[in-house]
Structure formats: C-alpha cells, structure tokens
Structure 1
Amino acid sequence: MIIYFHMVVRVIMSLKIPLTILFSLLTTVSLFAEEFAVATFTRGKVSFLSASDTSKLWKTLKVNDVLKPGDRIKTGNGSKVDFLYQETEIRIQPNTDFTLKEWNSDKKEAKAFVQNGAAWFRVNNFKKGSFEVSTPTTTAGVRGTAFGVFFEEKEKTGYTCVCEGLVNINGEDFAKGTGGAKKVGATELEKKQYKDIITKDGATILLKEKRKEFPMLNRCLPCHKPIGWEDKSFTPDETYGNK
C-alpha cells in the first residue's frame, strides 16, 4: 500500500502540478488506498475486469492494483493473487473465478462470490458476521478469523473449511478444523472434519488418501505442504504465513 502511494506521488510530482491541487490529489490517493484492498503479490497471469471500466475489457492485474466492489478476478493454471486491507487478507488461488460483490470499509461489511476455484480469507477488520463469501451452493459468514472457500465445477459442490475461529456456513456455526459441503440440488449441508487431515505442520498422509474421495482437498496443498509423502503437481504458495 505504501509502495502504491509513493509511486503515485512521483507521477504527480513529475507533472509540476500547483501545490494546492497537489495536496488535494495526494489526500484523495491516500484515502483511496486505505479504503480498499490492494494487490500485494501476483504470480502468473491474473485477469481483471473492473466494474468501472465501461469498455468491459479484461486486463492483466498487477501489484498495487485496487480491488473495488463489482470487480472480477480470474486466475489460470499456476496463477494467484493476494490482496491486503489493513489486517485482512484475500488470497485467490489458481483456476479461480472470483467477484467482490460489496465492500464498505466504514460499515465494516463485505461480500464476495467464488463462481469456481478456491480463495482463502483472514478477516480482522470487519464486524461479526458482516464478511460473507458465497459459492453457487454455500454462504460463509465469518465469526472468527480464517477460512477457505471452494467450488468445484466438476463435482458441482461448494466447500468451506475453517482454519481459525468460527465460521457460519448456511446458517450453522462451524469451529476450527471442521467445515461444510453442499452439492448443487442437495437440501442438506454435509459436515466435514479436517483436524486429522491437516495439522499445524502440514497435510498428513490421510489427506493423500481422502483426496480420492474429495478432490477439493488438492486445493489445500499449496498452503499445507505434505508430511511424509510427496506431490509435485501443485505450486507452493510462497506467501502463505508470511504476512
């Protein structure tokens, strides 16, 4: 965020704008950067469709770009992007279609939608229950801190796993190490347990076995390295745990 601000300052200064106008512009830039989440890391090609772009053209998202309501993000194989807003993190994983539906930093409210793929969230700056992430079959409202949201098109199933704290999934609270899944057309949310599959050290051998039944678990491997087994089919998330 600071890097973004300084870059804009240098551009404005090079234009030799009068000081009164310059001060107004710098104030606007500062407020703008503090109001929304800013891209802090990208890998590969990340496509970006801005809600404010009347041409409706997909562009390549870059570090320091700002995520605003209505913006849509698409990542391809091996591509990802991280956004940071104060202490809140949004990590969009490969092969994901993500849209920020709502964002109000004053009211501390936000809503996002994962059409397909995976995204991970650590939420610290929003009111209880006011940060929601939906898929075609699930809605997760944060009650605690960190959770992952997935939707697998092949399975037509949405998943939510709780990494820290409590998360409300389709009206029911889930604690750390648990989660819920719901297939398109199903009436009930299926409860899941992840405590023995993923530990603080990484993904256990149980994940290797369980992923045959639940391919969604492969989405966990970039952040949770295998313990006692190997898998070279994924790209490690070099930023996970470093913020």
Structure 2
Amino acid sequence: MTQHLLRGRDEKEVLWFQRRDTLRAAAAWLAMGGLPAAIAQQRSNIVELSGDALLNGNRLVPGQTIQTGDQIQTGPGSRLVFALGNASFLVRQNTRMTVERGSTLRAVSMLRILTGAVASVWNKGGSRSIITPTLTAGIRGTGVYTEIPPGEDRTYFCNCYGTVDLDAGGTKAVSRSDYHQSFWAEAPAGATPVIRPAGYLNHTDEELELLAGLINQRTYWQVMGRKGTPDGKGTMGY
C-alpha cells in the first residue's frame, strides 16, 4: 500500500479502490472488453457510481453514457469512475467539472474543473488540457491528480508520471515526472497565480494503477517495476 498524506480528506475516500464492489466493477468492465467494446456495443462508459451525481443538471444513474460536452457534479460522499475517449477519470465527492468536446464526440479536448478533485490517466493523443481557476495543464500521455481545496484560491496538481506543460497566470513550467511531481498553483492575496513545489497529497499509486488499467495502460512505476520516494519531487531516486 502506498504511503500517503491526507489534507482535508479521510482515509476511506482515498482507499476506495480496495472495496469489493469497486474491484468487481473494474474486473467486469475489463472482462467485457473495456472502452472499445463499450463504444462498439453502445454500452455505458461508467465503471462505477457510488452516491449521488448530476449529469447536465439531472440525476446520473448507472447505465447512462457520459459524453464530451457534459457537465458533471458529484454530491457529498459520492464517487464516479468512467472512461471516455482515450482517458479514464475518478471524480471525487463535491466536484463540479465539464468534459469539453474535441474533434469528435468521444475526443476529450479539455477537462474544466471548478471545484473538487479528479484523478485521470490519459493515453497519448492530440492537444488536451486540464483547466482550473488558477492553472492550465497541457496534457500529453500521463497520469495526474488535480484538486481545488474548498475555500482556497489555489490548485493542487500532481504529475504522477509523464510530461505536463503548466501555466498559472503566465508563470510557466514543464513537469517531467517518473513518480509524482507535485505543485501548488496559487494566487496569493489576489495577485497573479504562481507555481510552487508541493508535497504528495490525497491520492495513491493504486488509484492511478486502477485508472490506467481501465484504458489498457500501465503507470511508469509498473513498467519500471519499482517506485520512488513519495516526496512530490517526481523522481525514482536515481
């Protein structure tokens, strides 16, 4: 089990992947052929829904399909896992977000997060980004965790593996990570947002591994067969 630090979240929320119903749902999804089969058979792309969520203002129920252009809102104590395009998503409780449409109905061009937290894994593809009130992250093939703490004018962003282009109000950086490189993108006292180093918070390796498996991908540490130190610096400790 990954060593992890919690800030504003409880242990049960981060250890959702250990639940038997979650494991059964993920196994069933893969046994039925994953996302390509779901598209071909016109089945739902929702892997798991726990608690209450809204899709475009209406209650979301298992069996529905999430498409690009949709607005999603999760309620207290809820959780949503789904796959779309060539990416997979874990949406934590109390999150509001929009999945923006790309060149086709199933191509995700942008994930716009207004509140809450989302873990996501992306296969390689065209231009895509994650946008929050204080950060724009240009996504390549990678796994990331994004959180906007309630009542705070900043974004926590972890490039769990891969390469990400970061822009906070014109302050730019390129993150190349093997193992969890983390940042705060914050606007102190209403000033222009800046990017600062952060620790490794509120997510686990196992969450990213489950999401990667849903789209037939492996995390960088799975490929390498070892892990680094969870310190937010992004290295394997070479």
Bucket of the pairwise TM-score, normalised by the shorter protein: 0.5 to 0.7
Pair 91,166 (structure 1): closer, same or farther in 2 beyond 3 Å: same
The equivalent residue for 1:42 is: 49
**Greater C-alpha Rg:** 1
Matches of 2:173 and 2:153, distance apart in 1: 21
Higher relative contact order (CA 8 A, sep 6+): 2
Whichever residue aligns with residue 156 of structure 1, its letter is: D
The equivalent residue for 1:126 is: 125
The equivalent residue for 1:85 is: 84
Structure 1: state its 5+ residue gaps: 7-28, 50-57, 198-216, 226-235
Q: 1:168 aligns with which of 152, 165, 184?
A: 165
The C-alpha deviation readout for 1:27-81, integer Å capped at 9, x for no partner, is xx956949xx8222111111111xxxxxxxx322123322223311111222011
Report the TM-score when normalising by structure 2.
0.60
Whichever residue aligns with residue 182 of structure 1, its letter is: A
Structure 2: state its 5+ residue gaps: 1-27, 33-37, 215-238
Contact 1:39/1:62, CA 8 A, preserved across alignment: no
Q: 1:169 deviation in Å?
A: 1.2
Pair 105,126 (structure 1): closer, same or farther in 2 beyond 3 Å: farther
% same residue: 21
The C-alpha deviation readout for 1:81-126, integer Å capped at 9, x for no partner, is 1111365211111111111122334895511211000011100152
The C-alpha deviation readout for 1:166-223, integer Å capped at 9, x for no partner, is 11111421122223322243324222244xx4xxxxxxxxxxxxxxxxxxx3x32xx4
Q: RMSD between aligned alpha carbons? A: 3.4
Whichever residue aligns with residue 123 of structure 1, its letter is: W
Contact 2:85/2:107, CA 8 A, preserved across alignment: no
Matches of 1:74 and 1:39, distance apart in 2: 14
Pair 224,146 (structure 1): closer, same or farther in 2 beyond 3 Å: closer
Report the TM-score when normalising by structure 1.
0.59
Pair 155,163 (structure 1): closer, same or farther in 2 beyond 3 Å: same
State the SS of the aligned residue for 2:112. strand
